[in-house]
Amino acid sequence: MRNIMVINPKGGSGKTTLATNLAAYYATEGKDVVLADFDPQGSAMDWLELRDPERPPIRGIRAWEEGLKSVGRPDFVIMDAPAGARGPELTELLRRAETVLVPVLPSPVDMKAGVRFIAELRDHPRSGKIKPALVANRVRDYTRISGELYRFLETQRIPFVAGLRDTQNYVRAYSRGLGVWELAPYMAYPDWEQWDPLILWLESRRSRP
């Protein structure tokens, strides 16, 4: 069983987008997937309610209420963490994860917040029991700020594994309970290509403690 958590204390970084698309990817690969939403806003559960029952199944858990007691032994547990997790709350969340993905947006505010959180992860008592990685999110290629984000992430002591573009495909997918993997190829193939490095990293031994 793989436990993958998407986390960034900075709100609006795209955690739910990353978590729901990961869940959709593994479901379309025929895996038994649980999507555990630790955020009381429930955005991941809202996405799941929009999902057509004919699509590859994903089991949702309102983890902010019930934790992971009813998870069982699925192939993948994808966890959407709440914003603002610090101190004991962060420690409790990290106890549940083996792989941690940190999405960062191309903005000075998000990069400064990223510096603090990356340092917190590196120095955390559980740092030896998790494998974190950075994901550039909502990137617009050839803009100055996106270039700054890439340079920033490449200098961190945590692997920078993928950059995902700013596109309405993620909005279209969310509004239908889908992942970008389930959109038409002519529309979404550029996004599939951007996910390849992240999926390859998650399938490698490097993504596990």
The whole-number pLDDT of residue 49 equals 97
**Among 29-38, 67-76, 100-109, 131-140, which stretch is predicted with the lowest mean pLDDT?**
67-76
The whole-number pLDDT of residue 157 equals 87
The model's pTM is 0.95
The whole-number pLDDT of residue 127 equals 87
Give the tens place of pLDDT for each residue, 189-208.
999 999 999 999 999 999 99
Residue 72 pLDDT more than 90? no
According to CATH, what is the number of the domain 2-202?
A: 3.40.50.300
Which residue's structure tokens are 């547990």? 77
Q: What angle do CA 14, 8, 2 make, to 5 degrees?
A: 85
Average pLDDT, the chain: 94
Nearest alpha carbon to residue 100 among 189, 180, 22, 186: 22
Residue 21 pLDDT more than 90? yes
Domain ranges of the chain: 2-202
Give the tens place of pLDDT for each residue, 11-20.
889 999 999 9
